[in-house]
Each structure stands twice: as C-alpha cells, then as structure tokens.
Structure 1
Amino acid sequence: MEYLKGLHGIRALAALLVMFGHIYNATLPPGEEFSSINSYGVTVFFALSGFLITYLLLQENKHTGQIDVIKFYMRRVLRIWPLYFVFVAIIYLYTWTSIDQGGLYYILFIPNLMLITGQAAPPLLGHYWSLGVEEQFYFFWPILVKKSKQILIGLCGFLAGFLILKIVVNIWIGGWSNAYSFIYQTRYDCMAIGGIGGVLYDQRSRWLTWVASRWIQVFSWLVVLVFVSGRFHFLSIIDHEILAVVITALIIGQLVSLSPLVNLENGMFRFIGKISFGIYVFHPLIIDLVMSAGVAEISSSFLRLACCYLSITGLTLAISWLSYRYMESYFLNLKVKYATPR
C-alpha cells in the first residue's frame, strides 16, 4: 500500500487530543466545565478516516478497474474487530457489568444508537460510540464510492444532505433532543469532508497547491489551536465540520508540501500514530485505574496533575504498544490476503 507521509502524525494528534481531553475532564475540580478537546480529537479521526478510505478506494479502482467491497470489509474486520471485542470483554469482566446492559449494541457495532434510546453506556465504554460510527461508515462508504458516477458531485451531495438533515432536526425537534444528539455525534459529514479531500488528492486537483500554500496552512493550524484552547466556538451546529475542513487541509499540506509548516513525519509521531487505535481504546481504563490508585488524593494540585498526566500517558502508550506488537500486528499481517493487487 502507498505510504502517505504525515498521516501517522495526524493520527497521533487525534489520539493525544482525545486522551488529554479525557484526563483533563477526569481531574477537574467539582463544578468546573468539561473540555470538548476529546470530542474534537474524534473529529480529527473522522476527517482522516474519510480522506484515507476514499483515496484508497479510488486508487484501487484506478489500478484494478474495480472496488472489491468484500476485501475492503475483511481488511476493516482484521484491523478493528480483534482489539474492539477484546476490550469490550475486559470491561464487562472488570466492571462486573451484565451483558444485558448494552451488550447487543456493542456486538452489532451500534453503540451510538444509545444516544437515541437514552440508554447509558456501560462503565468505561462511553467512547465506543465513535467506533460504532466508523464501522457504520466503513459499511456504506465503499458502496457509495463504487456506485457514484461523478464521485465529487456524489460526495458533495451526501455532505449537503446530511447538513440539511442536521439543521432540520435541530430546528423542528430541538437541539437537546436525543435525535439531534445522535445526528450531531454521528458526524458522517465530517468523514465526507475528508472524503472530498481524498478525491481532490486522487485527482491531483489544481486546488491542492492552493490548499497546501503557506497562508492556508498557517490559518488551518491557528483554527486547530482555537478549537484546542476550548475558549471559542465559531457556530456550534457546524463546529466539527469547520474542524474537519481545516484538518483535511492539513492532511493535504502534509502530503503535497515538500516542507510542511509543521512536519508531522518524524519518529515520535509515527510511533504514536501506529499505536493510536490502542491509545483510543485503552485510555479510559488506564484513567480509571490511576485515579482509583489514589493519585487523585495528592494534596498538591501541581503534583497531582503531573502524576496523573505522566502516569496515564506512560501506561497508555506502553499498553498500546504491547497490544500492537503482540495482538494487532498478527491480524494486520493477515490483511495481505485481502490486499489490493498492484
């Protein structure tokens, strides 16, 4: 498979935003407002997924004359399912939660539907809603890409339709309804934005040079910093879509520019990006274990926060590496059977 430089760095950025956002919220004094950094980190993952999956599907079609949807599904199964189900089993055993409490949602990859039913997620599995969203996206997206005669028009139409649905539900049902929460969190539109970027990159569009230009990259990084600061909102109903646009611009900047404004292609980012799935999956359990071990009781706020961030980050990276090295890699190697011939 073609190596796309800088994308491990984007994955690393997403994983760290999610983890640090959850650590921040776990260490907040009572009554303080939660940060949205972790939610923005998920949007980074979504935009990257949309870009990468769309581009690879188009490249497969270009080299083989078709898109083998079944092989695509098998590659996704081997990448996601082993760690996904191992962690679900660990959490149900660790928390002594009955399988009746949401178990079917996780087996069917629809935990995000709990946002409609109002059912609470089992302890330490609240973050799995996004994995459900990604699996649903992986199910229908290759079919959409395969069937679209004019791919760019098709993806823009999908994006427009989803945004209209989101606005209509917000107006007619209400921004605090379960239905709106479901659509707001699902964020297929953020993946579609990444997908449009993937089409432009596949076509080597003349727009790529403009998107990768210095001033667009500076602007995009500034927007990311504004989101990460948690101090500003552009327009709450499309905050995540705005972030998806600038992340897609940064992805293109990494791929197109010979000297990106912020070079994410280095050893540290490659390492973190490679184990980013494990970081995303394991970090809530590590936070719970560290906080339960008494770190939260340290009287000095500086020492308490330092211990929390350092211990949680270190343990999460270590366990994620072990997971990648001794479990995930085995299944990743099996993907060769379903690789696209070149």
Structure 2
Amino acid sequence: MTSTTDRMSEARSLVRKPYDFTVKEAAGKTHIPGLNGMRAIAVMLVIIAHYGFQDVVPGGLGVTIFFFISGFLICTLLLREQEKSGTIAIKAFYVRRFLRLAPEMYVFVGLTALYFFVRGVPVELGRAFAAVAYWMNYYKIFNLSSEGSGIHWGHLWSLAVEEHFYLTFPLLVLALVKVPKRLMLLLTIILIVCPIYRAFTLIENFPGHYTYYASEARADSLAYGCLLACLARYSEGAVALFRRFANPALPLGILVLLATLVLRNEFFRETIRYSLQGIGIGMIFIGLYYGSLGPVLLEWLETPIADWLGKLSYAIYLWHFILLNVIDMEFGVADMRALPMGQHLLLTAVMTVISIALAQASYLLVYQNFVRLRRNWGSHAA
C-alpha cells in the first residue's frame, strides 16, 4: 500500500519531470496523484450546494467533475489491463465495480428505509427499486411529481449514470482498443452528438430535467475523461501539444468553468454547458499533469485530509442528502435557506461533519470488508 508520504514525494518529484501516464504505469503503479483531492473538491461542492447554498456554490459542476474523473480513471485502467494481458476480463470488471459500489449503497438504502419506516414514512417500492437497481435518474425524469414527499434518494441519479457507463464502456473498449484510433473516433463522435441530442430533447419538450439526468444525455461528461486518457496513452502528437500548452491550459480551463457558471441562458445551460465544462476540466487536468504549476497543486491535492476526504467521497455523497430529510422531519426545517445566515452556516457545518462521520463508518464497516473479495477479482485496492 502506498503511504501518504510516498504519494506526496511522488507529487513533488513531478516538479522535475511532467507527469507521464505511460511511464508511471509501466512501473506497475495504479495510483494517479491528485484524483482523491479532486474528488474531495467535487463532493464538497455538491454537499454545500445541497445544504442551501446552490445559488453561490455550483453543485452540478461537482457532479460533472465526478463524471470526468470516472471516465478518465476507468478508461486508464481498462487500457492498462488490455495492454498487459491482451484482453479485458469483462466479468471480473463488472464484479469489481459491483463490490466497490453496491455494498455501501445497499446498506445506505436499507438503513435509511428502516429509519423512515420506524418514523411512519411510507417507502415507495418503485423508488426503492430505482435506487438499488441504478435507475434513479429515469425515475426522477418521469416521476418528478413525487419528489416532494417521502424518502427522496434522488441524489442516487448520478450513480445510475455512472453504472450505465460501467456496463457499456468496457464492451466498447474490448471491441475497439486494438485499433485505438477507432476508439478515439467513437469518443469524439459522442462528444459531438451529445450536445445536439440535448438540444433536440429541449426542442421536443422531453419530460423533467432530461438533459441533466438521462445517461445518454450526459455520456459526454464521462467521454471527455475517456478521450483524455486515450490521447495521453496513444497519441504522441497530443502529448506534445499537452506539454507545449499546459501552462496556459490550467488558468484557461478555470476561466472556461467560470464562464459556464456565469452564463445563465437556459438553452446554453441545458446543452453546451456540459460540453464546455468537460473541455475546461480536461484543460485543468492537462495543466496539472503536464504544466510547471501542476506539481505544486498536485502536492496540495495529495495532503492527508484531501486524500482522506477523496477516499470517503462516495460514502459522503451517499449519506449527505438524507440528512435534509431528517432535519425536515425532526426539526421542521424544510428549506435551510429560510434560516438566519448564522444558523444556516452552523447547521451546514454540523451536517457536513455528520455526513463525513457516517461516511467514515461506512468505509470502515462496509467498504473494508469487501476489499479482500475484490482482490480475488483482480482489484489492486488497498
């Protein structure tokens, strides 16, 4: 297991040599510096927005960052496996993903359902099925009228989007990776088609917030991460461009993200915004891993607290939202924004600490008990 000190030393060494995915993985390492730190930032954006600060904190951007990281990491691991063994063990991949994500989620759904049942709140079977079957995004699209009562579990929609990616993308990699240009071409087509499709759904008045929740409408948020992983691995020309423009790419990527938050036109927000955010996040990744300032930022992203929060980010995401139901039922606080600012800030801090504590318990009692089983299916998890 790689220690925190080793990871920080690795990040510091990047000052002398820009990050190279292929060199790093040839050494047999699976840890990519900074990813846990970026997960920590993403989950903090999400929970602070959900706790009543959505007008100033972009929670949706946090979700998009999660999508990009998932695409980038999963594609990197799949490509590495194919190069190492000549194929991709699809069954083992599916089992590893299930054992990584499902146990904590099922425990979360079970315990929260039990709590609300004891409190006399009915548990809708359709909503429970959507939660455990990774179908919550489409449940939300077609059942928005039921969102105002009972147990929401609505935030599980993003886990459904990622699960649909896990089910389909490895098959595409297996079919196309022997000719990497074909895989990169397919990813490029996805990046082009998705915003066009989102525009079509708006024009045709698809139900709910279709462009935000539907897996096919958000596929490009994951595909941007996948394409960056492919380019970094297979395109010497792209890597040369990354190194040449890495320093301006980092601040420019941040500016692109800020622009997507400032522009409030509804058509833009539902169509092109996700594309520009994918490009902006990709530019930040290039700046982090190839630019001169990146190693300093990576060292910050590798600090113990950032690494810890990143490891807990999945469980934090699971548990944080249900606390809104609890304070509504127990204290009659239906909207935290109605509270005086001092009380709002204090309650946000308390709920954030509780979310992290619940996540730590989930990590120790659930996640850790499945690590050994995952290793039996080829996982390198510590």
What is the TM-score of this pair, normalised by structure 1?
0.86
* Deviation by residue 1:169-190 (Cα, 9 ceiling, x = unmatched): 223x126666556548851111
1:169 aligns with 2:201: yes
1:236-261, Cα deviation, whole Å (9 max, x unpaired): 21212211222122233333346416
**Could you tell me whether the CA contact under 8 Å between 1:78 and 1:335 is conserved in 2?**
yes
State the match for 1:108 in structure 2.
Answer: 133
Instruction: Tell me whether 1:316 sits opposite 2:355 in the alignment.
Output: yes
Corresponding residue to 2:223 among 186, 192, 198? 192
Question: Are the counterparts in 2 of residues 7 and 251 from structure 1 also a CA contact under 8 Å?
Answer: no
Q: 2:274 aligns with which of 240, 243, 248?
A: 240
Larger relative contact order (C-alpha < 8 A, sep ≥ 6)?
A: 1
What does residue range 71-82 of structure 1 map to in structure 2 within 5 Å?
71-82=92-103
Worse-matched range after superposition: 154-163 or 319-328: 154-163
**Counterpart check, 1:5 vs 2:8:** no
Q: Cα 1:325–1:206, aligned 2, differ >3 Å: closer, same or farther?
A: farther
Deviations 1:179-238 (A, max 9, x none): 5565488511110111101111222644345446121101112333455xx543472212
Query: Which residue type is aligned with residue 274 of structure 1?
Result: K
SS at match of 1:174: coil
User: 1:153-177: per-residue Cα shift (whole Å, max 9, x none)?
Assistant: 1211233333332222223x12666
Match of 2:256 in 1: 223
* C-alpha spacing 1:218/1:332, structure 2 compared with 1 (3 Å): same
Instruction: Give yes or no for contact 1:166–1:183 (8 Å, CA) kept in 2.
Output: no
Q: Which runs of 4+ in 1 moved over 4 A?
A: 33-36, 175-182, 290-300
Alignment partner, residue 317 of structure 2: 280
Query: Quick check: 1:43–1:190 contact (8 Å CA) kept in 2?
Result: yes
SS at match of 2:38: helix
Aligned residue pairs total 331
Q: Is 1:328 aligned with 2:361?
A: no
Q: Is the 8 A contact 2:228 2:282 kept in 1?
A: yes
Cα deviation code 1:43-74 (max 9, x no counterpart)? 11011111111111111111111111111101
1:118 aligns with 2:119: no
Unpaired runs of 5+ residues, structure 2, are 1-28
Q: Determine whether 1:307 maps to 2:346.
A: yes
- 2:72–2:225 CA contact under 8 A, matched in 1: yes
Query: Who is 1:60 aligned against?
Result: 81
* 1:143/1:125 CA distance change after superposition, 3 Å: same
Cα RMSD (Å) of the superposition?
2.9
Using the alignment, how far apart are the partners of 1:311 and 1:340 within structure 2? 35
Aligned partner of 1:203 among 234, 244, 248: 234
Amino acid at match of 2:135: I
**Which amino acid in the other structure matches residue 219 of structure 2?**
Y
Q: TM-score normalized by structure 2?
A: 0.77
Q: Which residue of 1 aligns with 2:287?
A: 253
Task: Give ranges in structure 1 of 5+ residues lacking alignment.
Answer: 26-32
Kept in 1: contact 2:96–2:379 (CA 8 A): no
Name 1:130's counterpart in structure 2: 158
Q: 1:340 to 1:305 in 2, by over 3 A?
A: closer
Q: Which residue of 2 aligns with 1:28?
A: none
Per mean C-alpha deviation after superposition, the further-off stretch among 201-210 and 64-73 is 201-210
Aligned residue type for 1:146: L
Residue 30 of structure 1: aligned partner = none
Query: Cα distance, 1:3 vs. partner?
Result: 1.0
Relative to structure 1, the CA distance from residue 279 to residue 163 in structure 2 (aligned partners, 3 Å threshold; closer, same or farther) is same
Are the structure 2 counterparts of residues 299 and 252 from structure 1 closer, same or farther at C-alpha, using a change threshold of 3 Å?
A: closer
* Structure 2 CA distance for partners of 1:165 and 1:207, relative to 1, 3 Å: same
Provide the rounded CA distance (Å) in 2 between the counterparts of 1:299 and 1:152.
Answer: 48
CA gap 1:175/1:51 in 2 versus in 1, 3 angstroms: same
Question: In 1, Cα distance between the equivalents of 2:352 and 2:212?
Answer: 30
Q: Deviations over 1:250-286 (max 9, x none)?
A: 2333333464163322222111101000111010123
Secondary structure of the residue that 1:262 maps to in structure 2? helix
Indicate if the aligned counterparts of 1:71 and 1:339 stay in contact, CA closer than 8 A.
yes
The farther-off stretch of 136-145 and 292-301 is 292-301
AA paired with 1:247? I
Counterparts in 2 of 1:300 and 1:58: CA distance versus 1, 3 Å: closer
Amino acid at match of 1:153: L
Q: CA deviation at 1:105?
A: 1.8
Contact 1:283/1:316, CA 8 A, preserved across alignment: yes
> Distance in 2 between the 1:109 and 1:183 partners?
12
Report deviation, 1:299: 10
Which moved further from structure 2: 290-299 or 197-206?
Answer: 290-299
- Confirm or deny: 8 A CA contact 1:112 1:182 kept in the other structure: yes
